Amino acid sequence: MVGIPMDEQGMRMDCLADTLEQLCAEGRKPRFIYTLTTYQNPTGTCMPASRKRELIALAKRYDVPLVEDNCYGDVHFEGPVAPALFAMDQDATAPAQHVYIGSLSKIFAPGVRLGYLCAAEPLFSQITGQRFDAGSNTFAAAVLAEFYRDGIASHVGHTTPALIRKRDLLLDALVANLSDQCLWSRPAGGLFLWLRLPADTDLEALRQLTAARGFYYAPGRDFHVAGKDVPYLRLAFGHVPDELISEGVGILAECITRCRTSNAARGFDTLFD
């Protein structure tokens, strides 16, 4: 895997262009470009339409298939629903080079283990021909099809308000406890936000201290392409009971303060360098 740096608007197209150019010059044509343009995991960022068009154009120019994972696309809180890359990539040659992936894990339940993909032939048959999963759960698929007979929108209409409440509780608690030390994303959908820690935080000490107090998060290194221990963490709010969110952020703030070598202000004004 080759990682492409990102910013508040998702994958950086200048870096992608440079990487594609370099790999192709070395005769290493990429098999595909994997992208999560909507409520990206772990940052919660969304790619604007102009950047999506650049991405589609770059994929075409270098003749590399796009694999679009839109598993959070239906967990939408506010603002207009952005068209998927797949919907924007509909000229005659595009579908042959584009795989669109969705999942029911984020809008129904992870345990149901059902997802779906859209792709044109021959790509579709090439992918399904590679499955070694002992068969899909067709019974669960039939139950889910019945459940969603009236469309997914009516179900997410019930679940979304609870998620918005949790996100807002988390944002309020972060403002109250961590404004001087950290920065974080404000996701318009999805199940988590991305928080930047001060550079002088002892990341391993923070993991241990928070875990000892029953507060768990996904450390930045889990999402880094080379496993680098970057000073970020992902806070997932979907599963946390409302009443624990503020208390938990208070614990996190105390632990961050204790794991730093100074009490200076955070020293950065953007989420990404």
Ligand X SMILES: Cc1ncc(COP(=O)(O)O)c(C=O)c1O
> Judged by CB under 6 A, does residue 3 bind ligand X?
no
Binding mask 113-152 for ligand X (x = CB under 6 A): --x-------------------------------------
What are 40-43's contacts with CB under 8 Å, separation 24+? 40/6, 40/10, 40/72, 40/190, 41/72, 41/190, 41/192, 41/223, 41/234, 42/192, 42/194, 42/218, 42/220, 42/222, 42/223, 42/232, 42/234, 43/6, 43/185, 43/194, 43/271
> Judged by CB under 6 A, does residue 9 bind ligand X?
no
Closer to ligand X by Cβ: residue 110 or 161 = 110
Q: Say if CB 33 and CB 59 are below 8 A apart.
A: yes
In angstroms, what is the minimal distance from the CB of 57 to ligand X? 24
DSSP 220-250: GGGGSTT----SEEEEE-TTS-HHHHHHHHH
User: Considering just the CA atoms, what is the radius of gyration of the chain in Å?
Assistant: 20
Closer to ligand X by Cβ: residue 143 or 205 = 143
Closer to ligand X by Cβ: residue 9 or 105 = 105
Query: Which of these segments, 60-68, 86-94, 102-110, 154-162, binds ligand X (CB under 6 A)?
Result: 102-110
- Indicate the SS3 state at residue 25: helix
* Binding residue for ligand X, selected from 83, 110, 161, 214, defined by CB under 6 A: 110
Residue 251 corresponds to which tokens in the numbers above?
Answer: 């614990």
User: Cα(65)–Cα(31) distance, rounded to whole angstroms?
Assistant: 7
Number of residues located near ligand X, criterion CB under 6 A: 8
Query: Which of these segments, 21-29, 103-111, 145-153, 198-206, binds ligand X (CB under 6 A)?
Result: 103-111
> Judged by CB under 6 A, does residue 71 bind ligand X?
yes
Closer to ligand X by Cβ: residue 189 or 198 = 189
* Binding residue for ligand X, selected from 4, 16, 36, 67, defined by CB under 6 A: 36
Residue 100 corresponds to which tokens in the numbers above?
Answer: 């669109």
In angstroms, what is the minimal distance from the CB of 103 to ligand X? 3
In angstroms, what is the minimal distance from the CB of 38 to ligand X? 10
Closer to ligand X by Cβ: residue 36 or 56 = 36
DSSP state of 21: H
Residues sharing a CB contact under 8 Å with residue 26, sequence separation 6 or more, in sequence order: none
> What residues numbered 39-58 form the site for ligand X, per CB under 6 A?
41
In angstroms, what is the minimal distance from the CB of 147 to ligand X? 16
In 3D, which of 229, 223, 217 has the Cα closest to residue 253? 217
In angstroms, what is the minimal distance from the CB of 265 to ligand X? 33
List residues near ligand X by CB under 6 A: 36, 41, 69, 71, 103, 105, 110, 115
